[in-house]
C-alpha cells in the first residue's frame, strides 16, 4: 500500500470516530447578539412578522418589500400596517429578551428562539427553541418570568451590543 493512501485512510477513520463521538453530545447554540438575527443577512426572527403574532395569532413570514431597521436588525412584515405598528411600538411587538428562549434563560443560558414556537403572555411575545420549552412556559409563565428576571441582567451583559 502506498503511504499517501494509508494516510488518507487513517484520517478518514479518525474523522469518522470523532463524528461518532460528537453525535451523542447535545448541540449548543452559541449566541452573542442582543437581538437574535441571521448572522448572514441580519434579519431578525428569521423574517417572520412580529406584529402578525398579535394580529393573526400565528407565525407569518414577512417580505423584503416591508422591512424596517431597528436595534441593529432587519425586521420584515407582511404589509405596511404591520410595519408601521411595529415602528410605533417595538417594545410591545418585538420578541421579549431579544428573541432568546425564556425557558433557557431561566436555566442560565441564552438559546435563540425559533419563531415557530411562540407564546403571547401578558401582551408580550416570547419565542422558544423547542416545543417542550414553549409548553412548559405556557403552563406557568409567572414561574419562568420570575427566574428569568433574576438571570437575564447578567446574561444580557455578556451579549454584545
Residue 158: predicted pLDDT = 87
Domain ranges of the chain: 36-94, 95-161
In the chain the first and final C-alpha atoms are separated, in Å, by 56
Mention every residue, 6+ apart, whose C-beta is less than 8 A from residue 52.
58, 59, 60, 62, 77, 78, 82
pLDDT tens-digit readout, 20-52: 333 333 333 334 578 999 999 999 999 999 999
> If pLDDT is split at 50, 70 and 90, which confidence band does 140 have?
very high
63-93: per-residue pLDDT in tens? 999 999 999 999 999 999 999 999 999 999 9
Q: What are the tens digits of pLDDT across the range 45-56?
A: 999 999 999 999
Determine the pLDDT at residue 2.
Answer: 58
Given a cut of 90, whether residue 12 has pLDDT beyond it is no
CB count within 10 Å of CB 93 equals 23
User: Which has the higher per-residue pLDDT, 16 or 113?
Assistant: 113
Amino acid at each position: 500500500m502506498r503511504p499517501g493512501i494509508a494516510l488518507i485512510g487513517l484520517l478518514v477513520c479518525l474523522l469518522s470516530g470523532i463524528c461518532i463521538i460528537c453525535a451523542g453530545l447535545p448541540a449548543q447554540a452559541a449566541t452573542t447578539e442582543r437581538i437574535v438575527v441571521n448572522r448572514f443577512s441580519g434579519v431578525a426572527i428569521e423574517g417572520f412578522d412580529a406584529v402578525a403574532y398579535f394580529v393573526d395569532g400565528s407565525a407569518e413570514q414577512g417580505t423584503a418589500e416591508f422591512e424596517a431597521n431597528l436595534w441593529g436588525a432587519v425586521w420584515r412584515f407582511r404589509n405596511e400596517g404591520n410595519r408601521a405598528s411595529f415602528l410605533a411600538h417595538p417594545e410591545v411587538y418585538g420578541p421579549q429578551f431579544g428573541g432568546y428562549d425564556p425557558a433557557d434563560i431561566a436555566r442560565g443560558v441564552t438559546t435563540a428562539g425559533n419563531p415557530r414556537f411562540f407564546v403571547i403572555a401578558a401582551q408580550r411575545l416570547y419565542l422558544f427553541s423547542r416545543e417542550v420549552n414553549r409548553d412548559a412556559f405556557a403552563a406557568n409563565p409567572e414561574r419562568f418570568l420570575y427566574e428569568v428576571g433574576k438571570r437575564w441582567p447578567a446574561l444580557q451583559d455578556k451579549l454584545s451590543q
